[in-house]
Amino acid sequence: MWSAATGRTLTIDVSQPTVVDRIQRLQRLETVVYTMDKLVTGAKESAILPDFLAGDRLLMMVHGDVVAGIDFSNLKSGDIKVEGRRIRLHLPAAQVFATRLDSAKTRVYSRQTGLLVPTDPNLETQVRQEAERELQEAALADGILRTAQQNAASTISSLLQGLGFEKIDCD
């Protein structure tokens, strides 16, 4: 009503280059975070001596996150087709952005070092690295990339509806 009284109208540019630019400005869209706890062990053993003399074992409960989403910097102008109020968008493949352990919630539950060897200062670091790998592997097995892709399609569809598109196809 106010637009009619002032003679101003709202126009939104929905041309293909503008839409590509708007979506690329999102950069990376994080669409899912998996939070997990996992029990991880690590050990250094001697081929000759028994563990109580030369072994070093660590038992750790890790808490971490795996973050996945879509990197829109890979979006090309050919991935978007605009026809009036209809748009077809080919989304880049989902990917894991980060796997990180929460040090405040990660605990060493047990450490056993043999009588004849010093504690290996690198064992905990190696166990943490393995824990990150296992967390990512578990998230991938649970379908984090599929969920990230679906969530990204839903988010982008909402964005495009806000730009005035009536028919939106995301694949």
pTM of the shown model: 0.74
Q: Where are the domains of the chain?
A: 10-170
Residues 6+ apart with CB under 8 A from 141: none
Q: How many CB atoms lie within 10 A of CB 131?
A: 24
| 131-150 tens-digit pLDDT | 999 999 999 999 999 999 99
First-to-last C-alpha distance (Å) of the chain = 38
| 20-57 tens-digit pLDDT | 566 656 678 889 999 999 888 877 777 777 666 767 78
86's tokens: 């209809």
